Amino acid sequence: MLLKMSTEFITRLHVLSASNLPKTDRFSAIDAYITITLGAQKFRTRTVDDSSDPTFNETFLATLPSAAPHGFLTGTIQISLFDQNVFSDEHVATCSVELDGKSPQDLRCMSIPLTFVKSKYSGLQAHLAIGLDGFVQSFQSLKHMFGGTPGFFFSDVKRACYFPFPHTQNMAYLAVEYEEQGKVDIKVRRTGNGRESALVQELTLN
């Protein structure tokens, strides 16, 4: 029953660049920034001034749901392009990424066509480059999925899950530790004589 529940993943969302954006101001190119909405999560890039081909190179930590029982991702990433102005920012274009049925490999590097809000820009072929990588299950998802596994335990206080290595008499564990600001450490830990020590740090997601 536990294995049929939906899961969620923590991932790095990279907003890389946009290309061939329209000239929205009389005396300069667009002052562009990107907003991203994924469920209740909202992200915003910095503004790149005066560029029709802005480079953002920003990374955000996002949580993506997946649907039971097949475990594929689900939901929609909604993306908007704005022109920052002194008095009121202009909504210039939109695009979206449908996650349903997609694998992490499908999302690693994407060039998405932008749809303009105003028809006068419709002749332009503008694109946004984004990508997602580093998929790791969230703390709540992991502890519910493996809660009935012999030797597995977790700490709500430390926000960590521990998986015993076979043939070690529960003296060595793979620890998945969820730290502040979405950082995830995967380590090998050893127990004994009432002490715990980290042996190897294998992966950090930040």
Residue finishing a domain among 85, 109, 137? 137
pTM of the model: 0.78
Full pLDDT tens readout for the chain, 206 residues: 334 456 788 889 999 999 999 998 888 899 999 999 998 999 999 999 999 999 999 999 898 887 655 557 888 999 999 999 989 999 999 999 999 888 888 999 999 999 999 999 989 999 999 999 888 888 888 888 888 888 898 999 989 998 988 877 767 888 888 887 667 888 887 776 544 554 444 445 55
Output the pLDDT for position 180. 73
Report d(CA 113, CA 97) in Å as an integer.
11
177 and 111 housed in the same domain: no
Residue finishing a domain among 115, 137, 159? 137
114 and 143 housed in the same domain: no
Output the pLDDT for position 27. 84
175 and 97 housed in the same domain: no
CATH number at residue 68: 2.60.40.150
Secondary structure letter of residue 48 according to DSSP: B
112 and 158 housed in the same domain: no
Report d(CA 202, CA 164) in Å as an integer.
16
Output the pLDDT for position 200. 45
Is residue 78 within 8 Å of residue 96, measured between CB atoms? yes
176 and 82 housed in the same domain: no
14 and 112 housed in the same domain: yes
Strand partners, 133: 12
123 and 165 housed in the same domain: no
88 and 146 housed in the same domain: no
70 and 46 housed in the same domain: yes
* HEC-encoded secondary structure of the chain: CHHHCCCEEEEEEEEEEEECCCCCCCCCCCCEEEEEEECCEEEECCCECCCCCCEEEEEEEEEEEECCCCCCECCEEEEEEEECCCCCCEEEEEEEEECCCCCHHHHCCEEEECEECCHHHCCCCCEEEEEEEEEEECHHHHHHHCCCCCCCEEECCCCEEEEECCCCCCCEEEEEEECHHHCEEEEEEEEECCEEEEEEEEEEEC
Output the pLDDT for position 43. 97
97 and 150 housed in the same domain: no
Tally of structural domains, the chain: 2
Domain, as residue range, for 159 = 139-205
55 and 151 housed in the same domain: no
